[in-house]
Amino acid sequence: MQLDNQIKQANDQVRALRESRNDTESSILKHVADHNLSHATVRIKDGALKFAFNVKQPPAITLAFLGEALAECCPPQQAAAVMQHIRAKRDAAAKLVPEIRRTHNKDA
């Protein structure tokens, strides 16, 4: 259980670092946009920073996304059959593994 606690602390630290990085990135990008520096290059110790706006970030491929995409290009029955097949394959590929589940006391 001590290892679980250390992992939780490390994950909390990583989450805080990500939030700090995102806040810093937002501040820098706002400054770059406000001062029309979008084409600037900043040299850093081990490389350079370039600013990119309007970068495409594709959504995750979820079962819901797949279902929507299939519904757009296939007849409804065929889309439903393909989705059913994907779900069945996913369930069949799932592995049964042993694990220890931890519960936390409400007062802890």
pTM: 0.62
Structure confidence by residue, pLDDT tens digits, 12-54: 999 999 999 999 999 999 999 899 998 888 899 999 988 888 8
**How much is the mean pLDDT over the chain?**
90
Q: How far is CA 67 from CA 19, 60, 71, 88, 98, in A?
A: 33, 13, 6, 14, 32
